[in-house]
Copies of this chain bind each other. A is one copy, B any other.
């Protein structure tokens, strides 16, 4: 589609870039194998090989050779003649080079070591519900990030530099507006839901559901929504994830809980959404840094679209509930489609983000966003976190954790220095609702397609509007191109109000 014409320098640069990507993909497979089926005695060696390959990727990405290429292709008279794909590749490589090369090498190495230590300390702290154990590590991480931001530079707010790593184009200024709007709508909506008389009963979802049958169901649903099993596979791991080894090999995992029907099911749809994205990036972008999602938020919009907007819709279950009931007749014969639909959409403010429903999920993100922003701007001390966390949970969700384990210590992200990442989850929901609003206009029998389980036109629409571009377009460009608008939380608010007003008869 892009009709790439290359000079010899471009060819040799592409070969270099492909080599980096190849190492990356070897590393991905080694990781996938480690968490799905590696014999336990292989673990220490495996970890060191993964780290060796990742060091090589780092070295190549920040090498003199890379600099030479980038210097050449950044020269005005050369750059202007590059085709869009080459321009995109150069842009991404340069971003990466600048990000890592500006940090002195020994400082960066120390930082990597700190993160790895911090993660294992965080695990222990969470297990023992002991925030103070983790505190000094988190303080050091915040210090490092502050130092790095000074080196990298920033515009407006320091936190913008971190946001840029995951969601280029999104700033604190924009996010503050978006989240203020969201909060102003969701908090009162949540209150009305909590006060509603007629609440869904989801107790039947916690009966025993044979894991092997759950697996069949997940396979079926993935197949139905258009996940290509000839270019992927479904396995079990502790935490569900999607991993692209190469364009013809994008794997998903889930986790089966015997007493939970919906966990594996919706996480499969979620990961399926990520994987369909990766499977449908234009093959011409293969083996380049553009063979990736446009941003974390755009990627998340695809997983949320399939998991929530489609997967938790009434129309979807019109075609699939019968099949689920056939697989689990004992548990579901007495449950009507309406009861099932309401149960899978039950709203309940809870402590744990990853278990949150569609309505409260974004509130969890806002709590984290405000804390991260304040930490990076030195408006908050790490020591104050547990208290602030609990206050904010009260403010946003109306509940307070009883301990730090299910409070401030619940997520792994901060131990990995992943500051600026959390907002992508909420942005994914916002983008997904914007895409939903557009697709309903452009595919006028959308509802009928969903209720008949005909997803091909929808998959194609997403592929054509979003997936095929990979990382060639920025998230801002994609949103604008697809919806004609900027990022806009109004559609998510409308979607949530509509949906929950009906379910809770508000």
Residues of A within 8 A of B (CB): 19, 22, 25-26, 29-30, 33, 37-46, 48-49, 52-53, 228-233, 245-249, 251, 286-287
Contacts and interface: CB of A to CB of B under 8 A. Distances in A.
Contacts of A41: 228, 230-231, 247-249
B30 A45 contact: no
Given A19-B52, A39-B231, A41-B231, 14 more contacts: A25-B49, A26-B26, A29-B33, A33-B33, A38-B249, A39-B233, A40-B230, A40-B248, A41-B230, A44-B248, A45-B248, A45-B286, A46-B249, A49-B246
Contacts of A48: 22
> Which interface residue of A42, A229, A247 has the most chain B CB atoms within 10 A?
A42
Nearest to A49: B22
Query: What 9 pairs across the A-B complex have the smallest Cβ distances?
Result: A42-B249, A41-B248, A45-B246, A41-B231, A42-B248, A22-B49, A22-B52, A41-B230, A26-B26
Contact of A43 (B19, B42, B248): B248
A81 to B, nearest CB: 29
Given A26-B53, A48-B22, A49-B22, A42 B245 contact: yes
A228 to B, nearest CB: 7
Contact of A45 (B25, B39, B40, B43): B25
Nearest to A246: B45
Contacts of A38: 249
A229 to B, nearest CB: 7
Contacts of A29: 29-30, 33
16 contacts: A22-B48, A22-B53, A25-B45, A26-B49, A26-B53, A29-B33, A39-B230, A39-B232, A39-B251, A40-B248, A41-B231, A42-B245, A44-B248, A46-B245, A46-B249, A49-B246
A235 to B, nearest CB: 9
Nearest to A37: B233
B30 A249 contact: no
Contacts of A286: 45
Nearest to A228: B41
Contacts of A43: 248
A65 to B, nearest CB: 15
A48 B49 CA distance: 20
A41 to B, nearest CB: 3
Contacts of A49: 22, 25-26, 246
A466 B402 CA distance: 59
Contacts of A19: 52
A281 B120 CA distance: 31
A336 to B, nearest CB: 38
A249 B232 CA distance: 24
A458 to B, nearest CB: 22
A249 B45 contact: yes
A250 to B, nearest CB: 8
A22 B286 CA distance: 26
A53 B25 CA distance: 12
A248 B37 CA distance: 13
Nearest to A25: B49
A263 B93 CA distance: 52
B39 A249 contact: yes
A233 B39 CA distance: 7
Contacts of A245: 42, 45-46
A492 B40 CA distance: 39
Nearest to A50: B26
Given A29-B29, A33-B29, A33-B33, A248 B22 contact: no
> Which interface residue of A44, A233, A246 has the most chain B CB atoms within 10 A?
A246
Contacts of A249: 38-39, 41-42, 45-46
A386 to B, nearest CB: 39
A171 to B, nearest CB: 37
Contacts of A46: 245-246, 249
A21 to B, nearest CB: 9
A30 B24 CA distance: 13
Nearest to A43: B248
Contacts of A53: 22, 26
A228 B44 CA distance: 17
Contacts of A42: 231, 245-246, 248-249
A295 to B, nearest CB: 24
Contacts of A45: 25, 245-249, 286-287
A37 B234 CA distance: 11
Nearest to A51: B22
Contacts of A228: 41
A285 to B, nearest CB: 13
A26 B30 contact: yes
